[in-house]
């Protein structure tokens, strides 16, 4: 068996039986090489996201307000809680935003020409109670880091197929 991982000029090349590769990988993860490799991958991802945003703008794709409005209309999200769930999905999956304080969410609604939710925490907490949103561990249960759960994604998917 052979495992090769390369990111830029950093390469990890492991060979042997599965148990040997597991052991070698454990040693590599403890070394600086693994950290450098992960950093290169993060940099490449960020560069790709930035390039995609620039390409979308250059191609004349819709601005965020009209894109978000289209998401709401395509998924028939007319109730404010569903719209807030759609906003979190849009910010995380379309724009790649990981930290969305109320100001960011409200701006998205305003850009779309839709009344902002007002008491955003109330909506976010209710969506968490319905298990549509969760806050990843290590984020001190701050709603600004909320992400869709599989149930939340299924809810949006069900709405778009309705």
Question: Residue 4 has which token pair?
Answer: 């090769």
Domain residue spans of the chain? 2-58, 64-161
Instruction: Provide the CA 137 distance to its chain's centre, in angstroms.
Output: 15
Q: What is the dihedral of CA 125, 127, 133, 138, to 10 degrees?
A: 10
User: How many Cα atoms sit within 13 Å of 65 on the Cβ side?
Assistant: 10
Q: Is residue 151 very low, low, confident or very high in pLDDT (cuts 50, 70, 90)? A: very high
Question: Residue 30 has which token pair?
Answer: 């403890």
Alpha carbon distance 119, 19 (integer Å) = 53
Q: Under CATH, what is the fold of the domain 64-161?
A: Arc Repressor Mutant, subunit A (1.10.10)
* Res 75: pLDDT: 77
- The lowest-confidence range among 50-59, 99-108, 131-140 is 50-59
The pLDDT tens digits for 91-128 are 998 888 888 888 889 988 998 889 999 889 999 999 99
């Amino acid at each position: 068996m052979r495992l090769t991982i390369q990111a830029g000029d950093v390469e990890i090349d492991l060979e042997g039986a599965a148990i040997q590769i597991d052991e070698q990988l454990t040693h590599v993860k403890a070394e600086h090489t693994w950290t450098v490799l992960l950093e290169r991958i993060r940099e490449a991802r960020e560069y790709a996201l930035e390039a995609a945003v620039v390409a979308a703008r250059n191609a004349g794709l819709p601005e965020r307000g009209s894109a978000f409005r289209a998401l709401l209309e395509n998924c028939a999200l007319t109730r404010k809680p569903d719209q807030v769930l759609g906003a979190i999905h849009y910010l995380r999956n379309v724009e790649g935003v990981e930290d969305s304080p109320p100001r960011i969410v409200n701006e998205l609604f305003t850009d779309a020409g839709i009344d902002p939710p007002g008491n955003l925490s109330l909506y976010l907490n209710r969506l968490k109670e319905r298990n549509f949103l969760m806050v990843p561990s290590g984020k001190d249960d701050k709603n600004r880091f909320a992400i869709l759960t599989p149930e939340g994604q299924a809810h949006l998917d069900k709405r778009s197929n309705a």
